[in-house]
Amino acid sequence: MGDEMRRSRRLFQSLTFVSLLFGASLMGPGVASASLGQCTYNDNHICVWNSTLYRGYFQKSLGSIPDVGAGASSLWNRKAHAIYVYSGTGYTGSAMKVAPDQQVSDTPWKVHSIAADPCLASANEEPSALC
Q: Spell out a b/e string for 115-131, using b for 16 or more CB atoms within 10 Å of the CB, else e.
A: bbbbebbbeeeeeeeee
- List the CATH code of the domain at 36-120: 2.60.20.10
Task: Single out the residue of 96, 108, 105 nearest to residue 75, CA to CA.
Answer: 105
Q: What is the pTM of this model?
A: 0.67
Contacts with 89 (C-beta within 8 Å, 6 or more apart), sequence order: 66, 67, 68, 112, 113
Q: State the pLDDT confidence band at 41, using cuts at 50, 70 and 90.
A: low
pLDDT by residue (tens digit) across 44-102?
899 999 999 999 999 999 999 999 999 999 999 999 889 999 999 999 999 999 999 99
Model pLDDT, residue 121: 60
Instruction: Please check whether residue 60 is in contact with residue 46, taking contact to mean a CB–CB distance below 8 angstroms.
Output: yes
- Count the helices and strands in the chain (H runs, E runs): 1, 7
Q: What is the spatial distance between Cα 57 and Cα 10, in angstroms, rounded to a whole number? A: 37
Give the start-to-end residue ranges of the domains of the chain: 1-30, 36-120
